[in-house]
Amino acid sequence: MQTALDKSEAVPAAVNKWNKIYNSPLNWKKIFTKTRKTTLDTQLRWFQLRILHRILPTNKYLCMCRIVESACCSFCKQEEETISHLFWHCDIVQVFWAKLKTALNESCENCFEPIFTEMLVLFGVKENVATDRVIGLIILLASTIFLNANCRD
């Protein structure tokens, strides 16, 4: 099935939306390839694909569907909860990424100083930075752990 998707000329609507949000075309072939190569775990892949395809429900979407009363972030309660806000822009998640960076630096003497960015967290890639499967898996697991540990009602 994945081969058929790779050969397809159709561009997912989410790709166009992400490109519009970041005001430039991203390297989607690399992003989707990275998703497949980071882990074999189907739940983690599905989680990453929901982010990429913009189908991970956020309070903004749930509020539009009248499932929740407020579009505000579940964590900071200050900004509208979008995927970008939820995984990167929220002040609380920024503290999480800073603590993870510190923990990695303190626990691994061979660890390079990880530089988490919005693109790396959301898409698993960062321009002009080579990453391996381990850091991709750490970011993916960290994202899921953060959401589960701070589980919303």
**Rounded-to-integer distance, Cα 142 and Cα 136, Å:** 10
Asked if the model's pLDDT at residue 119 lies above 90, the reply is: yes
In a domain, 83, yes or no: yes
Least confident stretch, 63-67, 92-96, 103-107 = 103-107
Domain holding 58, by residue range, is 15-148
Does 4 map to a domain?
Answer: no
Number of domains comprising the chain? 1
Please indicate, yes or no, if residue 8 is contained in any of the structural domains.
Answer: no
**Is 122 within the bounds of a domain?**
yes
DSSP 52: H
Please give the pLDDT value at position 151: 61
Written as six digits, the tokens of 117 are 């960015």
User: Residue 111 domain-assigned?
Assistant: yes
Three-state DSSP string of 53-96: CCCCCCHHHHHHCCCCCCCECCCCCCCECCHHHHHHHCHHHHHH
Token digits of residue 48: 């990453």
pTM reported for the whole predicted model? 0.85
pLDDT tens, residue by residue, 28-79: 999 999 999 999 999 999 999 999 999 999 999 999 999 999 999 999 999 9
Q: Establish if 31 belongs to a structural domain.
A: yes
DSSP letter for each residue of 106-153:
HH-TT-------HHHHHHS-BTTB---HHHHHHHHHHHHHHHHHT---
Average pLDDT across the chain, whole number: 88
pLDDT band at 10, cuts 50/70/90? confident
Q: Is residue 143 in a domain?
A: yes
The residue behind tokens 């660890």 is 111
H or E segment and range at residue 46: helix 42-52
pLDDT at 126 over 70: yes
- Flag whether 25 is in a domain: yes
